[in-house]
A and B are shown apart, each in its own frame.
Chain A
């Protein structure tokens, strides 16, 4: 069993597991941090942005780094299935399904598919709506890249950067998704069974169990034990794994989500009270639901009742509405609300009371209804594209305004770089609800996997805080670390295969006890293998002679069935054997001890008997009667089956 690691990013994993003749891709996250090397894409031409010192507008379009550059490592067309753990970890899907010859199936839960689609749609929309002046690709050439300024010169693997996919590609990719529900078991070619488990991180997020009859691999990616909106994490099903692949821990181990949420609210209230606006660059699904819920409770006590909240995204409406209809994927509290019936999330009420308004973009209705001071939630968190670019230009100059970063995926300083100098206040409250090291070590103690495989980043403290030995995984035995492009041989204890015996065949067996409690029987049968299922069937009886010679076919020739020879077991005891030989008149025996047993030299007969652990040889030239005698003597000491 092998694991091919195609991504070095611990929270945007992409691994391929070869297991029992299946090739399974686990997630395909898209690392988009390379967009930070580019200029923001304003909706309308911005003279300031196009003349930034030290920045040169090159391509006009954002490129996204694709996670895998690993064609040498693995032929992606051989992948049988792709298992998706959550909507953030599927953003590279079109790149894999569309241009690699992929013919397999993608498995994901319904919310993952739907919200994943929204997120992709949003990115495509952000990209496509901006007019591009020119497009160039020559700079990706290594020779030319060397001459480029600034961080671009040093960016690695630029040639792997790809254009953003189109909506058509997205649709085509998503058409290959097959929906699954939690704990639903999906057979893959009869060889393994895969099944998603709730991971508690986001709507429909899942961990995966991949198991054969004798082996169990757990894939834990992006899980959370906090009580936010999704269904709680299913921990018990992870027990007794041979291997647990652990990815997607929190990116902010030192930032406690509760504290950050409090920080978010107080900074928001502080800005609004002082008459400023708040900008929250965020994804259009996920943490935003929790933020809105928290604000729903907070606005009363902070007397923010009259402040408008705007959510601007091409998919804002769908995101808010989808969240309300996936009741079965929500935590218990929210599920029970549905029976009342009430909307599970309180943002429904915020919308109803006009406190929260959502718009597909800043054009149209929004521009006429916009009131300040206000709070705006909009994408993209990288500040390179989407409506957030507009608000940065609009509000960046006033120190009354505040930008609050809640997504942990991008360095906020890098994100802000093209907007400097900035008068606006910046607050960094990354909210990452995924497992932290404390929680994960508790979890692993509970589920006790035999081996843990994880990104190498988890096996040492963060570089910036090398003294924090509490911010790493400490396990016994130590976890197997992987990095990008590594191929791991996963250790397994057992190497068995399950084979079925048909009842009539089983009935015909004659077991004999070779030692107390252990019986053995010989089986003569035909192995029938289909879909990785092996069945022993009785040897078919020779068919009656065909009445007509005309219809006889070669294939119907019955196999020649011989009565099976009895199998021998046991060992030949030396002393007793010598005594027997003597009884039969063979006295001159020279015994020689070897590494495996003994060699008896019958000097008079010029014959050798080799007694070894797994065989006995009688070397006796031209004396068939003696050989037969000796053979029978040996057989006396052995059991027959």
Chain B
């Protein structure tokens, strides 16, 4: 704990105890508590380090006239203080504890009505209850009844906290009594689940009497659960809901003796609740049953009662509840053959009915009839179908024996549903009038369409569905062509198409007609009136280029864009047209799609076409002139992609492409680092980093940007060995870096006012310094070693960032001169810096040259990095500043004159 904070704390306590209303803002108390939480977690004993807290608590607790927020804070603070047994004892002995948690005390003061007092009381107790002493305090003070009452408090926060607290109490009692009764055989298994620190505490002090007390607590809680579980009237539904939540918490965490007991106590009530069939309680009830069930499954042979309850849930008569229950079961991901199969059947039933496909071989007629009736209502039809669709992908991943039909059939059903949505008549269900009444509910529903498309996308990975590719393709193209499809539907259709093509890499089933249709629709959508649609179309083109497919068995793999759309000759003109789009998102997407489309040709080292040259020129124009940041960022990313694909590829850079690439990169660096958008600048630095990597890979002392990325056993690239560590090489490389503008970009980034930019630039400069002229070398060594390297210079133009750099150099030089007499060892270095600085300063308006090495060594990069790493609000967020704020605010309050001035006339 900070010494300064400790010294301030007593005065802060005084302020708080005197009057709570003079806080700087209403989050101060929460921030203080956060600080205490951190301290407690770090193992600091609050009472030892801040003895003033005890006095604070005892003062405040007597002064009920204080602001309730201060009182609530004190209650919670007491919990933190009493978290250790020693402190607890101290508090108890000074009889503070009894008063703080004395209900009567608060009720008599009329403060209990305030929810913040109630929640403070609960949370204080909850924090404190980490050791048996606290538990027995709880039991002896008989806090259980009030806590049970608070469970149905009108404030939701209080009620929820009370619920958590009850669970905590019960679990604590369980641990204590299990230790007491020497029933520790489960200990090993349950370490993971019992959670909290209770299990680790020692309970040697537990006596038989307290053990009985705990048993009484457990009985009282379970009695209450049993009693209030079933609502006597509708107004009690809220209470039942709370109890169910608590029960779910408990059944998931308790261990056998208690678990069995709880279950036994509530089983009848749960039965009763099930029969009563309250729709609002279905999901929480299912949570309870699943909590019990999953515990059960993980442990040993399933409990008959739980199994029976689960089967009951999966056979409820109300279709909406039934679907919810089945979906909840599947979401749990339990591996239970019978119930999983049952849930799958329930969830497939609406699809079966609406599409008329025989997904289920047998269903109870009554269930089918009820479901059909429910589906005739438009609203519930749409919501039921959507729930089913959301769960279908999960179903197809289940074991084959759980599924009532093969995944292919489910794909067929989803396709058929999509056809229904677009008003297509070819569904087999059109024969029966009931189904017609149902199917008309989904016509034109884009909600169902979206869910179905999501399902279709996810279904692409199911086993054996590849045979459906052609059908899926046709349908998706129809969706894309439909004038009434809304933008999200179109986007999802595009995504589904890419997904299916990437999963089913064999595209031999796609006919020329398919291709023609897709070409036509893509062309149309790229001219769509809605920019979202144009954007998704352009994105689609890019993503398609990244999908590897096998067109026919004879041909070798190519990308899907080539296989389906004919490759660049189709996509590139579309994308280039999209570069002119009025919407910046579309322009940005077009640029990244272009990068994805051209990636293949870059990697193959193909010669640049005239078109590519034009694209590069267009992109550089975008970088200079585009008014929106998105497009400019995309341009920089384009060059990053290009550069990295060239360098990552083992083949020698083709001279043709690099003749264009390197000059363009140079323009990108200079324009990008002068951009107004900080993200563009960060991307530009990434490009600079790539160049550094490229230049120095394998160089002694050079570590790639993020050293943790390289695995210790990773194969070290050959270049490491082939490169020589010749100083001449370093000079050459550094020279080219200066020529490309990397050094200027880094230096301008360093003085950037956006922290991420400066931080990144600083890190890169340090990396560069470590390779070129490491500080670790002694000054004399350095001079000798860097004799040639130091000759490499870069220009510092007379304006902007360069002026900042110059100023820094001059300052450094002055400092060095001042210290010169004292530390003679650094004379050489300082003189050089001084020269560089003076030279820079004297030339003024022109563009003088400075030695790169000297700049790197003189800029105090490490110190700068240190400053930059800290977040900009680190000062304001420190506990010290918090405490100071509180004190300042109170002093401002105590001097009303100044306060008056602060409250300016708002009018």
Contacts and interface: CB of A to CB of B under 8 A. Distances in A.
Given A270-B527, A301-B583, A465-B423, 7 more contacts: A259-B482, A262-B529, A262-B530, A265-B527, A268-B527, A300-B582, A301-B529
Q: Which of B443, B527, B531, B580 has the most CB of A within 10 A?
A: B527
Give 6 nearest A-B pairs by CB, closest first: A259-B483, A269-B527, A301-B582, A259-B484, A266-B527, A263-B483
A570 B82 CA distance: 96
Interface string B414-448: 00000000010100001000001100100100000
Interface of B: 423, 425, 430, 436-437, 440, 443, 482-485, 523-525, 527-531, 577, 580-583
Given A259-B483, A300-B582, A301-B582, A265 B529 contact: yes
B568 to A, nearest CB: 18
Contacts of A468: 423, 425, 440, 443
Nearest to A268: B527
Contacts of A273: 527, 577
Nearest to A265: B529
Interface string A451-491: 00000000000000111111000000000000000000000
Given A255-B483, A273-B577, A294-B529, A465 B524 contact: no
Contacts of A258: 484
B437 A256 contact: no
Nearest to A256: B484
A633 interface: no
Interface of A: 254-256, 258-263, 265-270, 273, 294, 298, 300-303, 429, 465-470
Contact of A266 (B430, B524, B580): B524
B522 to A, nearest CB: 10
Contacts of B423: 254, 465, 468
Contact of B425 (A255, A294, A303, A467): A467
Contact of B483 (A269, A301, A429, A467): A429
Contacts of B437: 469
Contact of B430 (A256, A259, A303, A467): A467
Contacts of B425: 465-468
Given A273-B577, A468-B443, A469-B437, A260 B483 contact: yes
Contacts of B443: 468, 470
A468 B443 CA distance: 9
B484 A469 contact: no
A302 B483 contact: no
A287 to B, nearest CB: 16
A205 B430 CA distance: 39
B94 to A, nearest CB: 73
A633 B244 CA distance: 84
Nearest to B433: A469
A268 B524 CA distance: 9
Contacts of A470: 440, 443
Nearest to A254: B423
Given A254-B423, A255-B483, A469-B437, A266 B582 contact: no
Contacts of A303: 577, 580-581
B577 A469 contact: no
A177 to B, nearest CB: 38
Contacts of A466: 425
Contacts of B577: 273, 303
A301 B528 CA distance: 10
A298 B483 contact: no
A469 B440 contact: yes
DSSP class of B's interface residues: helix, strand, loop or mixed?
loop
B527 A302 contact: yes
26 contacts: A258-B484, A259-B482, A259-B484, A260-B483, A262-B528, A262-B529, A265-B528, A265-B529, A266-B528, A267-B527, A268-B527, A269-B527, A270-B523, A270-B524, A273-B527, A273-B577, A301-B529, A301-B531, A301-B583, A302-B527, A303-B580, A467-B425, A467-B436, A468-B423, A468-B443, A470-B440
A293 to B, nearest CB: 12
B526 to A, nearest CB: 8
A477 B688 CA distance: 77
A303 B581 CA distance: 7
Contacts of A467: 425, 430, 436
B529 A261 contact: yes
A323 B160 CA distance: 64
B848 to A, nearest CB: 46
B536 to A, nearest CB: 14
Nearest to B531: A301
B859 to A, nearest CB: 47
A602 to B, nearest CB: 70
Contacts of B440: 468-470
A303 B534 CA distance: 13
Contacts of B527: 265-270, 273, 302
A297 to B, nearest CB: 8
A294 B528 CA distance: 12
Q: Which of B437, B524, B583 has the most CB of A within 10 A?
A: B524
Q: Which of A263, A266, A303, A470 has the most CB of B within 10 A?
A: A266
Contacts of A298: 529
Contacts of A266: 524-525, 527-529
B487 to A, nearest CB: 10
A518 B711 CA distance: 103
B486 to A, nearest CB: 9
Contacts of A302: 527
A267 B582 contact: no
Contacts of B430: 467
A267 B524 contact: yes
Contacts of A263: 483, 524
Contacts of B529: 261-262, 265-266, 294, 298, 301
Given A266-B525, A270-B524, A256 B436 contact: no
A268 B484 CA distance: 17
A429 B483 CA distance: 9
B529 to A, nearest CB: 4
Contacts of B582: 300-301
A70 B101 CA distance: 96
A235 B581 CA distance: 41
Contacts of A262: 483, 528-530
A561 B443 CA distance: 75
Nearest to B528: A266
B422 to A, nearest CB: 10
A518 B523 CA distance: 78
Nearest to B486: A259
A256 B577 CA distance: 28
Nearest to B574: A273
Nearest to B431: A467
Q: Which of B440, B484, B525, B577 has the most CB of A within 10 A?
A: B484
A349 to B, nearest CB: 17
A203 to B, nearest CB: 24
B34 to A, nearest CB: 50
B525 to A, nearest CB: 7
A263 B485 CA distance: 11
B306 to A, nearest CB: 45
A269 B580 CA distance: 13
Given A270-B523, A468-B423, A470-B440, A301 B484 contact: no
A295 B437 CA distance: 40
Contacts of A294: 529
A301 B581 contact: yes
B183 to A, nearest CB: 65
Nearest to B483: A259
A640 B430 CA distance: 71
B673 to A, nearest CB: 31
A300 B583 CA distance: 10
A470 B437 CA distance: 9
B840 to A, nearest CB: 48
Contacts of B436: 467, 469
B483 A256 contact: yes
A469 to B, nearest CB: 5
Nearest to B580: A303
